[in-house]
Amino acid sequence: DADVTQTPRNRITKTGKRIMLECSQTKGHDRMYWYRQDPGLGLRLIYYSFDVKDINKGEISDGYSVSRQAQAKFSLSLESAIPNQTALYFCATSVLSSSGTQETQYFGPGTRLLVL
Amino acid sequence: TQLLEQSPQFLSIQEGENLTVYCNSSSVFSSLQWYRQEPGEGPVLLVTVVTGGEVKKLKRLTFQFGDARKDSSLHITAAQPGDTGLYLCAGGFRFSNTGKLIFGQGTTLQVKP
């Protein structure tokens, strides 16, 4: 079974609709992230969470919100979807090395979102 | 703004050729990682380098961290069609309280048989 799962894998929605993307992990990591990927722009951070009570905005959080329901679950919501939110969305978890010099991120398979 | 610039952004080569992908920044990183992403999947970590000048090899892939820890390169020898994918570099900071890696834009590699 995959360590980081995302649902749905594909979603088509209309402008103005509210949608939620869900992420679950079995790795036992405290840190979780939401990214979006667009061609030529790499991965851009939307929100991240260090634990259930800690939520932080990333570089492109406008138009998005998140909820950390449990250590293993981190969901991303688009309150009112717009076409330029069409992208590939990835959830990731991570653990920091004891030396603090390395943070390996483990990614889910992604959700492909199309906003019409 | 901390940026990682990858070059080239797209590379199409024949099987058996060698190639190098570059990742450059004006920032100093405590670690530099390379990920590979295949269509329909999330990125998967290939390697982490943490020491300036460090070289790591993974079969036909050679990774190098610049002496000043601002840049890195990925060299593939005798590329094969199975190497096709998106390669991403990502820089990290020691005990980062921002909790994030800085990702480059990615290099799409296509290896033709």
Interval A77-87: pLDDT, tens:
999 999 999 99
Name the burial class of residue B76, with classes exposed (0-12), middle (13-18) and buried (19+) by CB atoms within 10 angstroms of its CB: buried
Task: Convert the pLDDT of each residue in A36-80 to its tens digit.
Answer: 999 878 899 999 998 899 999 998 999 999 999 999 999 999 999
Q: Give the nearest partner residue to A43 out of B30, B31, B103, using CB atoms.
A: B103
From chain B, pick out residues whose CB is under 8 angstroms from the CB of A100: 30, 94-95
- Tokens representing A112 are 């492909």
From chain B, pick out residues whose CB is under 8 angstroms from the CB of A102: 30-31, 33, 48, 50, 92
**Of the candidates A42, A37, A59, A45, the residue with the CA atom closest to the CA atom of residue A112:** A37
**Is the Cβ pair B45, A104 closer than 8 Å?**
yes
| Buried-state track B20-46, b at ≥16 Cβ within 10 A, e below 16 | ebbbbbeeebbbbbbbbbeeeebbeeb
Find the angle CA(A89)-CA(A62)-CA(B29) to the nearest 5 degrees. 65
The answer to whether residue B42 neighbours chain A at the CB level (below 8 Å) is: yes
Whether residue A90 contacts residue A105, with contact meaning beta carbons closer than 8 Å, is answered with no
Q: Which of A17-26, A95-104, A105-114 has the lowest mean pLDDT?
A: A95-104
The answer to whether residue B84 neighbours chain A at the CB level (below 8 Å) is: no
- Tally C-beta pairs within 8 A across A and B: 67
- Tokens representing A1 are 């079974």
Whether residue B107 contacts residue B4, with contact meaning beta carbons closer than 8 Å, is answered with no
From chain A, pick out residues whose CB is under 8 angstroms from the CB of B96: 103
For residue A90, pLDDT over 90 is answered with yes
Strands A111-115 and A10-13: parallel
Q: H or E element: which one contains B85? A: strand B85-92
Task: State the Cα–Cα distance between residues A77 and B74, nearest whole angstrom.
Answer: 36
Task: Convert the pLDDT of each residue in B13-69 to its tens digit.
Answer: 999 999 999 999 998 988 899 999 998 889 999 999 989 999 999 999 999 999 999
Q: How many residues does chain A have?
A: 116
Helix residue spans in A29-85 (DSSP H): none
**Is the Cβ pair A110, B41 closer than 8 Å?**
yes
A interface residues, B as partner, C-beta within 8 Å: 4, 31, 33, 40-45, 48, 50, 56, 58, 90, 92, 94, 96, 100-110
